[in-house]
Structure 1
Amino acid sequence: MIKLYDTELSGNAYKVRLMLALLGLKYERASLDLKAGQQKNPDYLAKNPRGQVPFLEDGAFLVRDSSAILLYLALKYGNGKWYPKDIEGQAEVQQWLATATGDIAEGMARARAIALFNRPGDKAAAVKLAHDTLALMQTRLKQREWLATGEPTIADVACYPYAALSPQGGISLANAPAVVAWMRRIEKLPGYVGMPGLPAQA
Protein backbone atom coordinates (compact mmCIF):
# COMPACT_ATOMS: atom_id res chain seq x y z
CA MET A 1 0.00 0.00 0.00
CA ILE A 2 1.24 3.47 -0.90
CA LYS A 3 1.45 5.90 2.01
CA LEU A 4 1.78 9.65 1.48
CA TYR A 5 2.96 12.03 4.17
CA ASP A 6 1.75 15.53 3.37
CA THR A 7 0.09 18.66 4.65
CA GLU A 8 -3.13 20.15 3.33
CA LEU A 9 -2.01 23.59 2.15
CA SER A 10 1.31 22.63 0.56
CA GLY A 11 1.25 22.95 -3.21
CA ASN A 12 4.12 20.48 -3.45
CA ALA A 13 2.22 17.89 -1.44
CA TYR A 14 -0.88 18.57 -3.52
CA LYS A 15 1.06 17.74 -6.70
CA VAL A 16 1.50 14.22 -5.42
CA ARG A 17 -2.14 13.86 -4.34
CA LEU A 18 -3.17 15.07 -7.78
CA MET A 19 -0.86 12.60 -9.52
CA LEU A 20 -2.14 9.72 -7.39
CA ALA A 21 -5.71 10.70 -8.24
CA LEU A 22 -5.01 11.03 -11.96
CA LEU A 23 -3.47 7.55 -11.89
CA GLY A 24 -6.45 6.18 -9.96
CA LEU A 25 -4.22 4.84 -7.19
CA LYS A 26 -5.46 4.08 -3.70
CA TYR A 27 -3.22 5.22 -0.90
CA GLU A 28 -3.04 5.95 2.80
CA ARG A 29 -2.63 9.59 3.69
CA ALA A 30 -0.82 10.86 6.77
CA SER A 31 -1.25 14.62 7.06
CA LEU A 32 1.36 16.24 9.28
CA ASP A 33 0.82 19.35 11.37
CA LEU A 34 3.91 21.37 10.45
CA LYS A 35 3.14 24.12 12.97
CA ALA A 36 3.18 21.49 15.71
CA GLY A 37 6.50 20.15 14.39
CA GLN A 38 5.25 16.68 13.51
CA GLN A 39 7.70 16.59 10.59
CA LYS A 40 10.51 16.64 13.17
CA ASN A 41 9.20 13.61 15.04
CA PRO A 42 12.08 11.11 15.50
CA ASP A 43 10.11 8.29 13.87
CA TYR A 44 9.46 10.43 10.80
CA LEU A 45 13.05 11.68 10.65
CA ALA A 46 14.26 8.08 10.75
CA LYS A 47 12.46 7.55 7.44
CA ASN A 48 12.94 11.01 5.99
CA PRO A 49 15.98 12.81 7.48
CA ARG A 50 15.10 16.01 5.63
CA GLY A 51 11.93 16.27 7.71
CA GLN A 52 9.92 17.65 4.82
CA VAL A 53 6.72 16.88 2.94
CA PRO A 54 5.73 15.37 0.62
CA PHE A 55 7.23 11.98 1.34
CA LEU A 56 6.07 8.68 -0.12
CA GLU A 57 6.32 5.07 1.00
CA ASP A 58 5.57 2.34 -1.50
CA GLY A 59 6.20 -0.89 0.32
CA ALA A 60 9.87 -0.83 1.28
CA PHE A 61 10.68 1.96 -1.18
CA LEU A 62 10.93 5.48 0.24
CA VAL A 63 11.15 8.66 -1.84
CA ARG A 64 11.12 12.37 -1.01
CA ASP A 65 10.85 15.50 -3.19
CA SER A 66 7.71 16.17 -5.21
CA SER A 67 9.40 15.96 -8.62
CA ALA A 68 11.10 12.68 -7.77
CA ILE A 69 7.80 11.28 -6.50
CA LEU A 70 5.95 12.36 -9.66
CA LEU A 71 8.58 10.70 -11.83
CA TYR A 72 8.48 7.50 -9.77
CA LEU A 73 4.69 7.28 -9.91
CA ALA A 74 4.57 7.96 -13.64
CA LEU A 75 7.20 5.37 -14.46
CA LYS A 76 5.84 2.69 -12.15
CA TYR A 77 2.10 3.18 -12.50
CA GLY A 78 1.55 5.37 -15.57
CA ASN A 79 1.23 2.57 -18.14
CA GLY A 80 3.37 4.48 -20.61
CA LYS A 81 1.59 7.79 -20.03
CA TRP A 82 2.62 10.93 -18.12
CA TYR A 83 6.34 10.58 -18.98
CA PRO A 84 7.45 10.29 -22.61
CA LYS A 85 9.60 7.46 -23.89
CA ASP A 86 11.57 9.54 -26.40
CA ILE A 87 14.66 11.44 -25.29
CA GLU A 88 13.47 14.77 -26.66
CA GLY A 89 10.18 14.49 -24.80
CA GLN A 90 11.98 13.56 -21.60
CA ALA A 91 14.20 16.62 -21.95
CA GLU A 92 11.12 18.81 -22.42
CA VAL A 93 9.59 17.38 -19.25
CA GLN A 94 12.79 17.82 -17.27
CA GLN A 95 13.14 21.48 -18.18
CA TRP A 96 9.62 22.17 -16.89
CA LEU A 97 10.26 20.17 -13.73
CA ALA A 98 13.26 22.46 -13.24
CA THR A 99 11.00 25.47 -13.78
CA ALA A 100 8.61 24.12 -11.13
CA THR A 101 11.36 23.71 -8.53
CA GLY A 102 13.18 26.88 -9.59
CA ASP A 103 11.35 29.94 -10.89
CA ILE A 104 7.85 28.83 -9.87
CA ALA A 105 9.02 27.96 -6.36
CA GLU A 106 10.96 31.19 -5.96
CA GLY A 107 8.26 33.33 -7.58
CA MET A 108 4.65 32.15 -7.35
CA ALA A 109 5.08 29.83 -4.38
CA ARG A 110 7.21 32.28 -2.39
CA ALA A 111 4.81 35.17 -2.98
CA ARG A 112 1.94 32.98 -1.73
CA ALA A 113 3.93 31.87 1.32
CA ILE A 114 4.73 35.48 2.22
CA ALA A 115 1.11 36.57 1.78
CA LEU A 116 -0.63 33.63 3.46
CA PHE A 117 1.85 32.37 6.02
CA ASN A 118 3.93 35.47 6.77
CA ARG A 119 7.09 33.72 5.59
CA PRO A 120 10.21 35.88 5.18
CA GLY A 121 11.22 37.02 1.72
CA ASP A 122 11.23 39.82 -0.82
CA LYS A 123 7.60 39.98 -1.95
CA ALA A 124 8.26 42.40 -4.81
CA ALA A 125 11.04 40.23 -6.23
CA ALA A 126 8.88 37.12 -5.93
CA VAL A 127 5.96 38.79 -7.71
CA LYS A 128 8.22 40.02 -10.53
CA LEU A 129 9.68 36.55 -11.02
CA ALA A 130 6.16 35.10 -10.96
CA HIS A 131 5.02 37.44 -13.74
CA ASP A 132 8.15 36.66 -15.76
CA THR A 133 7.47 32.94 -15.41
CA LEU A 134 3.81 33.36 -16.33
CA ALA A 135 4.94 35.22 -19.47
CA LEU A 136 7.20 32.28 -20.35
CA MET A 137 4.34 29.84 -19.82
CA GLN A 138 1.95 32.06 -21.78
CA THR A 139 4.30 32.06 -24.78
CA ARG A 140 4.61 28.29 -24.60
CA LEU A 141 0.91 27.58 -24.12
CA LYS A 142 -0.23 29.89 -26.90
CA GLN A 143 1.36 27.33 -29.23
CA ARG A 144 0.24 24.07 -27.62
CA GLU A 145 -2.18 22.53 -25.14
CA TRP A 146 0.40 21.06 -22.74
CA LEU A 147 3.76 22.26 -21.50
CA ALA A 148 6.09 19.48 -22.61
CA THR A 149 4.50 17.25 -25.26
CA GLY A 150 1.22 16.76 -27.09
CA GLU A 151 -0.23 14.97 -24.07
CA PRO A 152 -0.41 15.86 -20.37
CA THR A 153 2.72 14.84 -18.48
CA ILE A 154 4.16 15.19 -15.01
CA ALA A 155 5.47 18.57 -16.19
CA ASP A 156 1.90 19.87 -16.19
CA VAL A 157 1.17 18.31 -12.80
CA ALA A 158 4.34 19.86 -11.36
CA CYS A 159 3.70 23.38 -12.66
CA TYR A 160 -0.06 23.58 -12.17
CA PRO A 161 -0.53 23.97 -8.39
CA TYR A 162 1.45 27.12 -7.64
CA ALA A 163 0.52 28.70 -10.96
CA ALA A 164 -3.17 28.16 -10.19
CA LEU A 165 -2.70 29.33 -6.59
CA SER A 166 -0.70 32.40 -7.58
CA PRO A 167 -3.61 34.87 -7.07
CA GLN A 168 -3.30 34.04 -3.36
CA GLY A 169 0.11 35.70 -3.56
CA GLY A 170 -1.27 38.82 -5.22
CA ILE A 171 -0.32 37.74 -8.74
CA SER A 172 -2.74 38.53 -11.55
CA LEU A 173 -3.42 36.02 -14.31
CA ALA A 174 -5.05 38.65 -16.52
CA ASN A 175 -2.15 38.71 -18.99
CA ALA A 176 -1.89 34.93 -19.21
CA PRO A 177 -5.11 33.69 -20.86
CA ALA A 178 -3.39 30.69 -22.43
CA VAL A 179 -2.12 29.67 -18.99
CA VAL A 180 -5.62 29.98 -17.56
CA ALA A 181 -7.01 27.86 -20.43
CA TRP A 182 -4.33 25.24 -19.67
CA MET A 183 -5.42 25.22 -16.02
CA ARG A 184 -9.01 24.57 -17.07
CA ARG A 185 -7.83 21.64 -19.23
CA ILE A 186 -6.02 20.13 -16.26
CA GLU A 187 -9.11 20.56 -14.10
CA LYS A 188 -11.14 18.57 -16.64
CA LEU A 189 -8.77 15.58 -16.66
CA PRO A 190 -10.36 12.34 -15.41
CA GLY A 191 -9.52 11.87 -11.75
CA TYR A 192 -8.66 15.52 -11.09
CA VAL A 193 -8.94 16.56 -7.44
CA GLY A 194 -8.53 20.01 -5.97
CA MET A 195 -7.22 21.55 -2.77
CA PRO A 196 -8.17 24.66 -0.77
CA GLY A 197 -8.00 27.59 -3.16
CA LEU A 198 -8.49 25.44 -6.27
CA PRO A 199 -11.56 23.92 -7.93
CA ALA A 200 -12.86 20.66 -6.51
CA GLN A 201 -13.36 17.59 -8.67
CA ALA A 202 -14.61 18.34 -12.17
Structure 2
Amino acid sequence: NGWVQTWSKAQYKIKIIFGDKLCSAEDCIPGTGVYLRHGYIYSSLAGYVLRKNEGEELPVISVVRETETQLLPDVGAIVTCKVTSINPRFAKVHILYVGSTPLKDRFRGTIRKEDVRATEKDKVETYKSFRPGDIVLAKVISLGDVQSNYLLTTAENELGVVVAHSEAGAQMVPISWCEMQCPLTHSKEFRKVARVQPEYLQA
Protein backbone atom coordinates (compact mmCIF):
# COMPACT_ATOMS: atom_id res chain seq x y z
CA ASN A 1 0.00 0.00 0.00
CA GLY A 2 2.90 2.32 0.69
CA TRP A 3 4.16 1.69 -2.81
CA VAL A 4 0.81 2.59 -4.30
CA GLN A 5 0.79 5.92 -2.48
CA THR A 6 4.19 6.82 -3.90
CA TRP A 7 3.10 5.89 -7.44
CA SER A 8 0.35 8.50 -7.34
CA LYS A 9 3.02 11.19 -6.85
CA ALA A 10 5.66 9.71 -9.16
CA GLN A 11 4.06 8.07 -12.15
CA TYR A 12 6.48 6.18 -14.38
CA LYS A 13 9.30 6.61 -11.84
CA ILE A 14 9.29 2.95 -10.68
CA LYS A 15 10.48 0.42 -13.23
CA ILE A 16 9.25 -3.13 -12.67
CA ILE A 17 9.65 -6.53 -14.37
CA PHE A 18 7.27 -9.35 -15.29
CA GLY A 19 5.74 -11.04 -12.25
CA ASP A 20 6.40 -8.25 -9.73
CA LYS A 21 3.75 -8.03 -7.02
CA LEU A 22 2.30 -4.52 -7.17
CA CYS A 23 -0.35 -4.32 -4.45
CA SER A 24 -3.37 -5.97 -2.87
CA ALA A 25 -6.57 -6.19 -4.91
CA GLU A 26 -8.21 -4.36 -2.00
CA ASP A 27 -6.16 -1.24 -2.81
CA CYS A 28 -6.48 -0.99 -6.61
CA ILE A 29 -8.50 -2.14 -9.61
CA PRO A 30 -6.38 -4.09 -12.17
CA GLY A 31 -5.97 -2.29 -15.50
CA THR A 32 -3.83 -3.19 -18.53
CA GLY A 33 -0.47 -4.97 -18.25
CA VAL A 34 -1.34 -6.65 -14.95
CA TYR A 35 -3.07 -9.80 -13.68
CA LEU A 36 -4.88 -10.81 -10.51
CA ARG A 37 -3.79 -13.85 -8.48
CA HIS A 38 -4.63 -14.91 -4.92
CA GLY A 39 -5.89 -11.44 -4.01
CA TYR A 40 -2.85 -9.56 -5.32
CA ILE A 41 -2.13 -7.66 -8.53
CA TYR A 42 1.04 -8.59 -10.44
CA SER A 43 2.79 -7.14 -13.48
CA SER A 44 2.34 -9.11 -16.71
CA LEU A 45 5.10 -7.23 -18.55
CA ALA A 46 8.23 -5.18 -17.93
CA GLY A 47 7.72 -1.45 -17.83
CA TYR A 48 6.46 1.33 -15.58
CA VAL A 49 3.54 1.60 -13.20
CA LEU A 50 0.69 3.97 -14.01
CA ARG A 51 -1.99 4.66 -11.42
CA LYS A 52 -5.14 6.61 -12.33
CA ASN A 53 -8.22 7.66 -10.46
CA GLU A 54 -11.01 7.34 -13.01
CA GLY A 55 -13.99 8.27 -10.89
CA GLU A 56 -14.04 4.91 -9.14
CA GLU A 57 -13.62 4.43 -5.40
CA LEU A 58 -10.32 2.64 -6.01
CA PRO A 59 -7.55 3.73 -8.41
CA VAL A 60 -6.85 1.70 -11.55
CA ILE A 61 -3.30 0.33 -11.65
CA SER A 62 -1.66 -0.55 -14.98
CA VAL A 63 1.80 -1.29 -16.35
CA VAL A 64 2.93 0.33 -19.61
CA ARG A 65 5.97 -0.55 -21.71
CA GLU A 66 8.92 1.80 -21.65
CA THR A 67 8.23 2.91 -25.24
CA GLU A 68 4.74 4.07 -24.21
CA THR A 69 5.88 6.35 -21.40
CA GLN A 70 6.14 10.05 -21.84
CA LEU A 71 7.33 13.06 -19.97
CA LEU A 72 4.86 14.14 -17.30
CA PRO A 73 4.55 17.57 -15.72
CA ASP A 74 6.42 17.47 -12.41
CA VAL A 75 6.56 19.90 -9.48
CA GLY A 76 8.88 22.78 -10.36
CA ALA A 77 8.63 22.18 -14.12
CA ILE A 78 8.05 25.14 -16.44
CA VAL A 79 5.09 24.39 -18.72
CA THR A 80 3.49 26.12 -21.69
CA CYS A 81 -0.28 26.06 -21.60
CA LYS A 82 -3.34 27.47 -23.34
CA VAL A 83 -6.11 29.18 -21.38
CA THR A 84 -9.48 27.49 -22.00
CA SER A 85 -11.75 29.34 -19.55
CA ILE A 86 -11.66 31.87 -16.72
CA ASN A 87 -13.83 32.81 -13.77
CA PRO A 88 -13.27 35.19 -10.84
CA ARG A 89 -11.42 32.51 -8.83
CA PHE A 90 -9.15 30.80 -11.37
CA ALA A 91 -8.15 30.17 -14.98
CA LYS A 92 -8.43 26.70 -16.54
CA VAL A 93 -5.68 25.68 -18.98
CA HIS A 94 -4.52 22.80 -21.15
CA ILE A 95 -0.81 22.00 -20.70
CA LEU A 96 0.88 21.75 -24.12
CA TYR A 97 4.62 21.52 -23.36
CA VAL A 98 6.92 20.62 -20.49
CA GLY A 99 9.92 22.85 -21.16
CA SER A 100 10.19 22.57 -24.95
CA THR A 101 8.88 18.98 -25.15
CA PRO A 102 5.32 18.61 -26.51
CA LEU A 103 2.95 16.36 -24.57
CA LYS A 104 1.09 13.53 -26.29
CA ASP A 105 -1.77 13.46 -23.79
CA ARG A 106 -3.87 16.40 -22.76
CA PHE A 107 -3.25 17.48 -19.18
CA ARG A 108 -5.44 20.05 -17.49
CA GLY A 109 -4.21 22.74 -15.14
CA THR A 110 -5.59 25.46 -12.89
CA ILE A 111 -4.07 28.85 -12.09
CA ARG A 112 -5.79 30.12 -8.96
CA LYS A 113 -6.31 33.82 -8.35
CA GLU A 114 -3.82 33.76 -5.45
CA ASP A 115 -1.13 32.14 -7.66
CA VAL A 116 -1.24 34.71 -10.49
CA ARG A 117 1.42 37.06 -9.08
CA ALA A 118 3.69 37.40 -6.07
CA THR A 119 2.53 40.84 -4.81
CA GLU A 120 -0.86 42.37 -3.94
CA LYS A 121 -2.55 38.99 -4.39
CA ASP A 122 -5.80 40.30 -2.92
CA LYS A 123 -6.09 42.82 -5.81
CA VAL A 124 -5.72 40.23 -8.58
CA GLU A 125 -8.61 40.06 -11.07
CA THR A 126 -8.49 36.93 -13.20
CA TYR A 127 -9.99 38.53 -16.31
CA LYS A 128 -7.29 41.24 -16.17
CA SER A 129 -4.58 38.56 -16.09
CA PHE A 130 -5.67 36.00 -18.71
CA ARG A 131 -8.20 35.51 -21.49
CA PRO A 132 -9.28 32.26 -23.21
CA GLY A 133 -6.86 31.45 -26.03
CA ASP A 134 -3.84 33.06 -24.35
CA ILE A 135 -0.59 31.07 -24.32
CA VAL A 136 0.94 31.13 -20.85
CA LEU A 137 4.23 30.09 -19.26
CA ALA A 138 3.63 28.68 -15.78
CA LYS A 139 5.30 26.56 -13.12
CA VAL A 140 3.83 23.36 -11.66
CA ILE A 141 3.27 23.67 -7.89
CA SER A 142 1.14 20.56 -7.27
CA LEU A 143 0.70 17.28 -9.12
CA GLY A 144 -2.54 16.00 -10.55
CA ASP A 145 -3.10 13.00 -12.82
CA VAL A 146 -4.71 12.43 -16.22
CA GLN A 147 -8.16 12.92 -14.70
CA SER A 148 -7.51 15.90 -12.44
CA ASN A 149 -5.91 19.31 -12.58
CA TYR A 150 -2.33 20.31 -11.97
CA LEU A 151 -1.99 23.45 -9.88
CA LEU A 152 0.13 26.08 -11.64
CA THR A 153 1.56 29.46 -10.73
CA THR A 154 2.63 32.54 -12.73
CA ALA A 155 3.92 34.41 -9.64
CA GLU A 156 7.39 35.10 -11.08
CA ASN A 157 8.53 37.79 -13.51
CA GLU A 158 9.41 35.20 -16.16
CA LEU A 159 5.97 33.57 -16.00
CA GLY A 160 2.66 34.71 -17.43
CA VAL A 161 1.13 35.43 -20.84
CA VAL A 162 3.55 35.07 -23.77
CA VAL A 163 1.10 35.11 -26.71
CA ALA A 164 -2.26 36.89 -26.79
CA HIS A 165 -4.49 38.11 -29.58
CA SER A 166 -6.57 41.26 -29.55
CA GLU A 167 -10.24 41.52 -30.45
CA ALA A 168 -9.06 42.57 -33.93
CA GLY A 169 -7.24 39.23 -34.26
CA ALA A 170 -3.70 40.60 -34.16
CA GLN A 171 -0.96 39.24 -31.89
CA MET A 172 -0.48 41.83 -29.19
CA VAL A 173 2.79 43.36 -28.08
CA PRO A 174 3.76 43.62 -24.38
CA ILE A 175 4.15 47.21 -23.20
CA SER A 176 4.48 46.54 -19.45
CA TRP A 177 4.21 43.65 -16.99
CA CYS A 178 0.43 44.14 -16.86
CA GLU A 179 -0.56 45.41 -20.33
CA MET A 180 -0.39 44.38 -23.99
CA GLN A 181 -1.27 46.47 -27.03
CA CYS A 182 -2.86 45.63 -30.37
CA PRO A 183 -0.55 46.78 -33.22
CA LEU A 184 -3.57 47.42 -35.49
CA THR A 185 -5.98 49.35 -33.29
CA HIS A 186 -3.47 50.42 -30.59
CA SER A 187 -6.03 49.42 -27.98
CA LYS A 188 -4.61 48.14 -24.71
CA GLU A 189 -5.64 45.07 -22.73
CA PHE A 190 -4.67 43.94 -19.25
CA ARG A 191 -2.62 40.73 -18.89
CA LYS A 192 -0.16 39.19 -16.44
CA VAL A 193 2.71 39.49 -18.94
CA ALA A 194 5.73 37.17 -18.84
CA ARG A 195 9.25 38.51 -19.19
CA VAL A 196 10.21 35.68 -21.52
CA GLN A 197 13.62 34.05 -21.24
CA PRO A 198 15.28 33.07 -24.57
CA GLU A 199 15.22 29.32 -23.84
CA TYR A 200 11.41 29.29 -23.86
CA LEU A 201 10.88 31.21 -27.08
CA GLN A 202 10.76 28.08 -29.25
CA ALA A 203 7.67 26.83 -27.38
Shorter chain as denominator, the TM-score bin is: under 0.3
Higher helix share: 1
Q: TM-score, normalised by structure 2?
A: 0.26
Which structure has the higher relative contact order (CA within 8 Å, separation 6+)? 1
Q: TM-score, normalised by structure 1?
A: 0.26
Higher strand share: 2
Structure with higher Rg: it is 2
